[in-house]
Structure 1
Amino acid sequence: MHDNELYILDEREDTYRFDHLGETLKILRKHLGKTQREIADDLNCTPGYISNMETGRTALSTRVLSYYARKSGMTIDDILAGKTPGYDRSYADIQLQEAVTHLSYTKKKCLLDTIRLWKNAEAEEERLIRAELEKGEEE
């Protein structure tokens, strides 16, 4: 396996939310104001297939992903990441994606580790603040 292949597998694991994909499709369908039957008609499939995708019982095809991306104005990556239609990519999001694209696999892993450390430190700081507030209320 090459470094690029490792990166693709690792990125998917950290970024994409396959376990919530059906839920994301249901949110997108409702955002589009469509019923399962209307989506099925658009895709030339059965409403049962749409229902099974939304409940995670059936895998979906790239054609289905493309349909939802095109209709919602989102990217396939955004859908796979579990983002909903209200999510707006900021200029910083775009710049960050461009900067990370050119990093080596090792540097990308280091960046992910750093981000995880920041998130953990932030969660610990919030826990300490809550503990201090609770301690102040007891006194």
Structure 2
Amino acid sequence: MRARNLFSLPENEQAPYLELWAELLQTKPHWKTLAEVREQAEPYYAEVARRLVDRLRAHPFTQGVGDIEPVFMSVMPYYFNDPPLDREYLLNRARAGRAYLEAGFTSSTLIAKYLILIEEWSRIFAGLFDRERGRVKSYV
């Protein structure tokens, strides 16, 4: 299957297309790991969202983007879930993507947002993660 726009595919081809992307990016094992720590991550959703928005507002490249904290809070559970790659998943992610675009994000600022998220979650997990045992501390 040649890579195309997901939304231009017939509905019955969308889930297999998402599966192929997940296979290429090798995301499923990571989704499973994040789903395992969801309970520990949930208390930090608001903090990470607030820090993300503060950092975006403070930088000249991203000062013009609108408030995405509510959008971010609504999609946060998807980051800590092993989602079924179905039509509902696709539509929910599309709504979030549309909200980011409406807030003024560009390809560059979306990449910056994801890099900031990785940094912020890495900071949180550094405090929660037991490197020696390879598990979140409260799970040990």
On whether the aligned pair clears a TM of 0.5, the verdict is no
Classify the TM-score, shorter chain.
Answer: 0.3 to 0.5
User: TM-score, length-normalised on structure 2?
Assistant: 0.32
User: TM-score, length-normalised on structure 1?
Assistant: 0.32
